[in-house]
Amino acid sequence: MSPLLEVNGLNVHFGAHHAVRGLDFSIAAGETLALVGESGCGKSSTALALMRLLPASARLQGQVLFEGRDLVTLPQPALRALRGNAISMIFQEPMTSLNPVLSIGQQIVEVLRLHQNLSPAAARQRAIELLDLVKVPDPRRRIDDYPHHLSGGQRQRVMIAMAVACRPRLLIADEPTTALDVTIQAQILELLDTLRRELSMALLLITHDLGVVGQWADRVAVMYGGEKLEQGTTGDIFLRPRHAYTRGLLGASLSLDRGLHYREQRLLEIDASVDPASGVRSFALGRERQRSRVFDAHDAFSLTTRAPAQAPAGQPLLRLQGLETRYASAHGEVRAVDGVSFDIGHGETVGLVGESGCGKSTLGKTILRLTEPSAGRIVFDGEEVARLRGRQLQPFRRRAQMIFQDPYASLNPRHSVAAILEDALRVHGVAGRQERERRVRRIVDRVGLPATALHRFPHEFSGGQRQRIGIARALVLQPALLICDEPVSALDVSVQAQILNLLVDLKQEFGLSYLFISHDLSVVRYIADRVLVMNGGKIVESGDHDALWQHPTHPYTRSLIAAVPTSAFASGLGQRL
Amino acid sequence: MKPTNISDLPRTRVSASPYKPRISVVPPAASDSFSSLAPPATPWWRRLLPGRHVTVEAAARRPAGQALRLYLRNPAAVTGTVVLLLIVLMALSAPWFYPGDPLDMVAQPLLWPGQDPHYWLGTDSLGRDVAAGIMHGARASLLIGVAAAAVGLGIGTLVGACAGYFGGRTDTVLVRLMELFQATPSFLLMIVVVSIAAPTITVIALTIGVTSWTTVARLVRAEFRALKQRDFVLAARSLGYSDSRIIFREILPNALPPIIVTTSVMVATAILMESALSFLGLGDPNRVSWGSLIGSGRDMLRTAWYLTAIPGSAIIVAVLSLNLVGDGLNEALNPRLRSRTE
């Protein structure tokens, strides 16, 4: 039987940039193929190339056979008849993929009437059926809603309804759940799999998330730098990976079942390098701590300014008591943080998990006094800081810092790295240019950036390197407490492993305490000593890093854990095999 | 947010590579010496501008360098810049070409352009040289344009920055103030002020500036409201930076592109305003400006139309070139419009 889609020697060029290099793969009818890789590996370019949706500046070569017809050379009218009809696509961002000025019903009806000869009434009836199919509750009423009435998960369901409206034979899903919460992600993937079976369509799932792949894909193709490195059944890829990069990706990935913890094992780091002469890529894997250059004793980061002995024994570094943050919104008062109390000990890492909108970021900002607390106490190292004003806050500011989620937004694009770091020291009265320079150089080296980074500007760095700059900025003042607000959520798996390893090293070296905020349970399981679960502005459960995952008591915690994609291969239990 | 957006891919790669070889690259060893980190090496005003501590290497790769290349590739913008530079050159060299007072009567009245090669742009009803008037008038017009724009820019940036950054009650009060100024007919206000005070260049520039700052203030306020939500501002606050430091050093450099664009339009508007005042006879009586030349020629519009047409053309050319410069800056500095020129 010939495959539904066969891609032969696909190449995509953007000017001088060769985004996809000689890609071959095929999908059979009713099959799920996952295209896995990190950002910039060419997986999204591939998806757009299949639909011929690339920008005009891109050059496309190769053969894309869909049911025997070559999509690369197909004339536009024939192509338009296929798009949205026989092949359709869903995108990552449900918030922007729907037209905000049309009701969702109008948007589904438009797709239906474009490809099928339906009367308006029949199309509307079919749209209601489709909304029911994608499990939007009360479709008869919701059909006239506008996109802003719907949540992110519901919008993605509407996108899926539009995509499957004409019963496509192939559905391309480009990171369909990356922007969604973990419980919603599970529902959407379940829905896609059900639709695949019911409509017997093939699914090309493009993702960076190996957990998702392990649970839902039949076959996997791993991409790096525009090339396909390896392809095989999901079982082969997970249990018998042949390529070093695949092994590295698997080793760098975290899953809830694997139960790794930072005290026991470092994460695998992938070191990709290209031989400049031959252009051949090689991948080195390692768990070893990369030793920074040795500095003599005079150059060592002076931690003597803050003697650890000052801290009275038994007293936590941070104690929150009944902390509340309220703000006014269009629907009345919102309690973003609602009576939160917990401690963080010296040198402890506390993980804070919860879904978007649960108030975890607001809590982080409130602790740092970036958002005003409405009630409650924040006791930092024995001192109440919740009511301090103006210059009284400066000592606290020096000792409590934040690492942000988005490494692109958190660095001022107009300042060089040296200026960013040196300003912080100058504001806190570190006198003497040479002293400031010494500290800046030391910290830049410590977070694993070259000294040449100092005079460059944020946009010249990759996402992972920018996150290192953000960490350097937080550490340059030698704080005691770091609030990490989703510090690895915007990063690729391999970069995530490097940053997590770095955070672990720095914690041991400088005796830091972390409040690690994340929506990713597996990351928190790895990095945290103790875990708090937040829902609706309240801490609903807290527990030891092992106990919480194995014996969750609160129903919300249980639903969170159940929603995490369980890789059938990591635990050795085959759900679908 | 996973950066899988396809449109991001080509630009980041492309922008880095093709321009590097053209620029003389600072060797890594030189930038490795920490010395340029020292702020005294850069004058204070340079720190406000985008790209401080700039090496040649950095300038080539930074957005500022890219914007400059885009600007220089835009023929309309280059034309505008060249014309504008010629007008500035003309204004600067006026005393050298025409050393006397342009208000002196030097020849027979109402010579048409070309009639006497020595007075190639002709003379007016009192026998004053029109060419001398145009060149000296450029000085007054440009001076007032630039000074008024500077005043408007200063007030507008300060008020807009405070309103946008502090928000709340400060914002409410300052926005009411802006509305007050916008609701006042600005030209009438100018006429009143100039009639009461002496119509010197300083008074006129100040008056135009004071009536035109609201545009800048609204723009700066909007930019600040958006930028203050960004994480790097949050990071600055968590590092304990003072409000003034955050406003001027963290946010303002990021808000500069639209401000720069507005400036050119403000200069043009100020030149037009001054011309209108002088046309009504409310300008500085002791100085020639393009507006006053038109004003003195208006009585002879039927018989000697060149007396209004020549300074009128000068104003049109100056304002047009300023607008071309403004459009060019807008396209070069505004990333959303960039795709058009690329």
Helix axis angle for A433-446 and A417-427, nearest 10°, is 120
* Lookup: tokens for A440: 């800046």
Largest separation between any pair of C-alpha atoms in chain A: 82
Please answer whether residues A467 and A491 qualify as being in contact, where contact means their C-beta atoms are separated by less than 8 angstroms.
yes
Chain A positions touching B17 (Cβ under 8 A) are 16
- Which residues in chain B (56-115) have CB-CB distances under 8 A to chain A? 58, 61-63
Res B32 pLDDT > 50: no
A555, with CB counted inside 10 A (0-12, 13-18, 19+), is exposed
Mean local confidence (pLDDT), B148-159: 95
Do residues A409 and A425 make contact, with C-beta atoms less than 8 angstroms apart?
no
Of the candidate ranges A140-149, A524-533, B101-110, B284-293, the one whose mean pLDDT is the lowest: B101-110
Residue A440 has pLDDT above 80, yes or no: yes
Q: How confident is the model at residue B25 (pLDDT cuts 50, 70, 90)?
A: very low
Q: What is the mean pLDDT of residues A187-196?
A: 90
Asked if A370 and B237 count as a contact pair (C-beta separation under 8 A), the reply is yes
Say if B338 is an interface residue toward chain A (CB within 8 Å): no
- Burial of A104: CB neighbours in 10 Å, binned 0-12, 13-18, 19+: buried
Chain B residues in contact with A456 by the CB 8 A cut-off are 58
What amino acid is encoded at A503 in this protein?
A: L
Instruction: Give the pLDDT confidence score for residue A329 in this predicted structure.
Output: 74
Give per-residue pLDDT as tens, A288-341.
Answer: 655 443 333 334 444 333 434 444 557 899 999 999 998 887 777 888 899 999
Contact criterion met (CB < 8 Å) for A418 and B28: no
Residues of chain B found within 8 Å of residue A466, distances taken between Cβ atoms = none
DSSP one-letter code for A10: E
Residue A266, SS3?
A: coil
- Residues B192-209, mean pLDDT to the nearest whole number: 89
| Spatial separation of the C-alpha atoms in residues A415 and B50, rounded to whole Å | 9
CA B151 to chain CA centroid, Å, is: 11
- Chain A residues closer than 8 Å to B52 by CB: 414-416, 419
Mutation to test the A interface, candidates B1, B4, B231, B338, most A Cβ within 10 Å = B4
Which pLDDT score is estimated for A64? 93
For A523, the enclosing helix (H) or strand (E) is helix A521-527
Hey, what amino acid is at A424? A
Tokens of A339: 């009576």
Residue of chain B minimizing CA distance to A479:
B239
- In this predicted structure, the answer to whether residue A401 has a pLDDT above a threshold of 70 is yes
Q: Is B6 close to A54, i.e. CB distance below 8 A?
A: yes
pLDDT given for residue B209 in this prediction: 92
Tokens 């690895």, residue located: A488
d(CA A257, CA B179): 61
Question: What is residue B70's predicted lDDT score, i.e. its pLDDT?
Answer: 82
CA-to-CA separations, A294 to A22, A291, A418, A502, B184, in angstroms, rounded: 44, 8, 21, 17, 69
Question: Across the A/B interface, how many CB contacts are shorter than 8 Å?
Answer: 146
Quote the pLDDT of residue B339.
Answer: 43
Residue A47 CA to residue B238 CA, distance in Å, equals: 41
> For position A295, what pLDDT does the model report?
39
Query: Rg of chain B over CA atoms, in angstroms?
Result: 24
What is the mean predicted confidence (pLDDT) over A59-83?
90
- Calculated CA dihedral for residues B69, B73, B76, B81, nearest 10 degrees: 40
Residues of A in contact with B4 (CB under 8 A): 39, 43-44, 92, 174-175, 178, 208
Tokens of A336: 């973003």
The answer, yes or no, to whether residue A3 has pLDDT greater than 90, is: no
Q: Which range among A14-23, A150-159, A367-376 has the greatest average pLDDT?
A: A367-376
Least-confidence region, from A425-439, B13-27, B67-81, B201-215: B13-27
Residues A418/A469, Cβ–Cβ less than 8 Å: no
Give the residue with greater pLDDT, A257 vs A500. A500
Across A182-196, average pLDDT:
87
Taking residues B1-21, what's their average pLDDT? Answer: 38
What pLDDT, in 10s, does the model give residues B74-99?
A: 899 999 999 999 999 998 988 888 88
Q: Is the pLDDT of residue A271 over 80?
A: no
Residue A108's CB is within 10 A of a number of other CB atoms, namely 23
Summarize the confidence of residues A517-544 as an average pLDDT. 91
A330-339, B239-248, B315-324: least confident range:
A330-339
pLDDT tens across B256-277, in order? 888 988 888 899 899 989 888 8
Separation of alpha carbons B173 and B177, rounded Å: 6
CB proximity B9 to A under 8 Å: yes
Angle at B120 between CA B115 and CA B125, to 5 degrees: 70
Q: What is the pLDDT of residue A313?
A: 58
The predicted-structure confidence for A460-488, as pLDDT tens digits, reads as follows: 888 889 999 999 999 999 899 999 999 98
Q: Is A121 helix (H, G, I), strand (E, B) or coil?
A: helix
Question: Average per-residue pLDDT in chain A?
Answer: 85
d(CA A486, CA A490): 8
Q: How confident is the model at residue A346 (pLDDT cuts 50, 70, 90)?
A: very high
State residue A1's pLDDT score. 58
Residues in chain A: 577
Statement: residue A237 has pLDDT above 50: yes
Q: In this predicted structure, what is the pLDDT of residue A253?
A: 80
Average pLDDT, chain B: 79
Residue of A nearest to B239 (CA): A397
Backbone angles phi, psi at B100, to 5 degrees: -75, 180
Max mean pLDDT among B25-29, B43-47, B206-210 falls in B206-210
Amino acid at A498: Q
Nearest CA in chain A to B9: A40
For B6, B11, B65, the CA distances from B342, given in Å and listed in that order, are 17, 11, 15
Q: CA B186, CA A133: separation in Å to the nearest integer?
A: 62
Among the partner residues A92, A411, A455, nearest to B4 by beta-carbon distance: A92
Q: Please give the Cα distance from A468 to A399 (Å, whole number).
A: 19
3-state helix/strand/coil string of A384-420: ECCCCCHHHHHHHHHHEEEECCCCCCCCCCCCCHHHH
CA distance A154 to A82: 26
- Mean predicted confidence (pLDDT) in B305-319: 91
Q: Which residues of B touch A409 (CB under 8 A)?
A: 230-232
Q: What percent of chain A has pLDDT over 90?
A: 36
Give A43's contacts in chain B (Cβ within 8 Å): 4
Q: What is the pLDDT of residue B336?
A: 53
Closest alpha carbon to A451 in B42, B29, B60: B29
pLDDT value of residue A459: 83
